[in-house]
Amino acid sequence: MLGHNSANDVDAYKEVIARFKADADQYTEVTDANAQFIRDHVGYGGKLAKEIDATREALKKPHLDAGRQIDGAYKPLVETCDDIVKAMKRKLAAFLDAREREAKRAADEARRKLEEAERLAAKAAEPEDDPFLAATADAVVVDVKAAHAEAKTAEMQALAAGRVSSAAGGFNATSLKTVRKAKVTDWSKLALHYLNSGDLRATLEKLANADIRHAKGAAIEIPGVEIVEERVL
């Protein structure tokens, strides 16, 4: 192992690896005459990689330890704050949702009243022999204007019901929004849908290989998998 703590280790290892690669490149094919030498190079390369990785770990360890210590002190504080915020957001969302629903209900009712007032106004505008209806025409017009104003106010309130501004003032406001997310109802169909996804295939293959390793040579059956043997060093 080189200096183990020296910043010059990287350059030194680069030189060692360059020589190792030059030696390895000489063996363009494996023969009975060079198989043992190649085997020795494989062993040397493996040890060299372990040595370099051990150096990396040794140099990194103090920083990792310091990072873990800092994380241990500060992460719980961050998580606690996040939990408090999430709880308050759930309460605020429930409140705004209920207020928005009520405001929309009131707006719908105001629109219904406006439509009724407009219907009555249209009827009052028709020629009538009934003196009572003629006398109430002006009052109906007033009712329509009032219904218009009420519907407009209710509509504006419905638009604002899902928002809340800061107590400190300003123009920034927090509002409800609709998001779409998956709710899985059939895992088998979902897996089939994403079967051609490279990430899913890699994950499934990884799971299968893990089960095969855990079997330690014992017979094992995995649906959709053929267990093959490969000779490796």
Model confidence band, residue 174 (pLDDT cutoffs 50, 70, 90): confident
Cα angle 116, 119, 121; round to 5: 110
pLDDT of 140 over the 90 cut: no
Which phi and psi (to 5°) does residue 164 adopt?
-140, 130
Domain borders along the chain are 184-225
Cα angle 221, 227, 228; round to 5: 165
> Using an 8 Å Cβ cutoff, are 149 and 114 in contact?
no
Rounded to two decimals, the pTM is 0.60
Q: What is the C-alpha to C-alpha distance for residues 47 and 41, in angstroms, rounded to an integer?
A: 10
pLDDT (tens digit per residue) in 35-70 = 999 999 999 999 999 999 999 999 999 999 999 999
Average pLDDT in the 163-192 region? 86
Q: What is the C-alpha to C-alpha distance for residues 28 and 42, in angstroms, rounded to an integer?
A: 14
Please give the biggest Cα pair distance in the chain.
124
